[in-house]
Amino acid sequence: MKKKILFLTGTRADYGKMKPLMCAVEEMDEFECYIFVTGMHTLKEFGDTRIEVLKDGFKNVHVYMNQIIEEPMDLVLANTINGFSRYIRELEPDMIVLHGDRVETLAGAICGAINNILVAHIEGGELSGTIDESIRHAVSKLAHIHFVSNNDAKNRLLQLGEDERSIFVIGSPDIDIIMKEYEMDIEFVKKHYDIDFESYAVLLYHPVTTEVDSLKTKISHVVDAVIESGDNFIAINPNNDHGYNIILEEYKRFNNYSRIKRFPSIRFEYFIEILRNATYLIGNSSVGIHEAPVIGIPSVNIGTRQRNRFVYDTIINCEESKDDILQAIDKAKKMKKINRTNYFGNGNSKENFRKVLLEKDIWKISRQKIFNDIGYNKQNA
């Protein structure tokens, strides 16, 4: 009997991260790949990206709408648990694979742990900021297996009391896509999205759920800086966290400028090609901390959303004020030599993941988790 491996994806971002791993499972005779598509994927306002998953031709895809626009995160969590729990009772998967720090990820981890199904977490041990970081660490405590990007992430999981034998450093899966050579080129991508800029920057800015009260002021500074910079921009709409509508309302100001093009979403492989050819990226997305340094372009990281994450020469941190952002943009445009980082992997995550799945011991990992104390002297307690 083939083992059933079920992936849960709730956003365009986590799908891009997990797609190489899904392909690995789909290609292997020992396993069957199943994909549960939910979250932002099902919302037309955010690009209806479930279509992208379906276009990729995976055999077993189940789409579940877990929310309506502006539904609060706690209800989205409950809705996802309701739908995912019913699905896994019917499917009876051998492993559930989850990514990152979204509320759908937490729902999948809860369902898997409670039903004694092996839960594998991709990119645990990272620092996210805001409520996302709490969700990420909570998922790590519910997960039985950890596929992490680097040794720093592994060490954080060890601090959380995770068993070292359950942690596998495979690199970040989306690096596989970044490192891969595609037949398409930037001219193909620009034609596909009707982008006629010779040069451009990319804007990706999301709500900070703990700072929604000041979001209107902050996003107005971001928009002011983008307009005042005079540069061409490809602006991609935010995720669906609380406060996204405030950002979208402010983005309407871009409608008066032909040099700023907005998109609800862009297919991940195409986005990577767009990013590869950008002069710089600005915003508060993890893309500025993760993908941009790997590709080798400067990123202007605005505000607190990515606080305490990876520090690198090409990442320029600034406050959410127009003047600070403009100064950071100017610094980014003057950067000459860009050294790429391999901190998140070397593009071989898919193969590393495949090797781990084929190890017999991984399927024997106990569903009963034990906290491993580190540096704790019981005699002095």
Query: Does residue 63 sit in helix, strand or coil?
Result: strand
Cα Rg of the chain (Å, integer): 21
State the amino acid at position 52 in one-letter form. E
Mean pLDDT of 361-381: 81
CATH number of the domain within which 33 lies? 3.40.50.2000
Instruction: Taking residues 363-378, report their average pLDDT.
Output: 85
**Phi, psi values for residue 120, rounded to 5°:** -110, 130
User: 337 falls in which pLDDT band (50, 70, 90)?
Assistant: confident
- Is residue 312 within 8 Å of 264, Cβ to Cβ? no
- Closest by Cα among 266, 283, 185 to 15: 266
Q: Tell me the C-alpha distance between 49 and 57, whole Å.
A: 14
Q: Which two tokens stand for residue 281?
A: 């990226």
CA 345 to CA 20: how far, in whole Å? Answer: 14
Note the pLDDT of residue 127. Answer: 87
Task: Tell me the Ramachandran region of residue 209: left when phi exceeds 0, alpha when psi lies from -120 to 50, beta otherwise.
Answer: alpha
Q: Same structural domain for residues 158 and 206?
A: no
Are residues 300 and 232 part of one domain? yes
Euclidean distance between CA atoms 218 and 35, whole angstroms: 37
Tell whether 41 and 174 lie within a shared domain.
Answer: yes
Same domain for 284 and 196: yes
**Shared-domain flag, residues 192 and 72:** no
Per-residue tokens: 102: 């979204």
Give a yes or no: residue 72 inside a domain: yes
Which pLDDT tens digit goes with each residue over 272-331? Answer: 999 999 999 999 999 999 999 999 999 999 999 998 889 999 999 999 999 999 999 999
Q: How far is CA 251 from CA 27, 169, 197, 256, 336, in A?
A: 42, 39, 19, 10, 31
Query: Is residue 380 pLDDT above 60, yes or no?
Result: no
Q: Is 285 helix (H, G, I), strand (E, B) or coil?
A: coil
341 within some domain: no
Report the distance separating Cα 135 and Cα 139, nearest Å: 6
For residue 39, give Cα distances in angstroms to 8, 127, 134, 137, 186.
10, 22, 19, 20, 29
Instruction: Classify residue 339: in a domain, yes or no.
Output: no
Query: Do residue 172 and residue 225 come from a single domain?
Result: no
Beta strand residue intervals within the chain, DSSP E: 3-9, 31-37, 60-63, 95-99, 118-122, 145-148, 167-169, 201-204, 233-236, 260-263, 281-283, 299-302, 315-318
Same domain, yes or no: 223 and 146: no
Residue 160 belongs to domain spanning = 3-178+347-380
Over the chain, what is the mean pLDDT?
A: 94
The reply to whether 97 and 226 lie within a common domain is: no
Residue 340 has pLDDT above 60, yes or no: yes
The CA-atom distances, in angstroms, between 324 and each of 12, 21, 153, 204, 329 are 30, 39, 31, 17, 9
pLDDT for 20-74, tens place per residue? 999 999 999 999 999 999 999 999 888 999 999 999 999 999 999 999 988 999 9
Q: Is 253 part of any domain?
A: yes
Q: Quote the pLDDT of residue 274.
A: 96
What is the structure's pLDDT at 183?
60
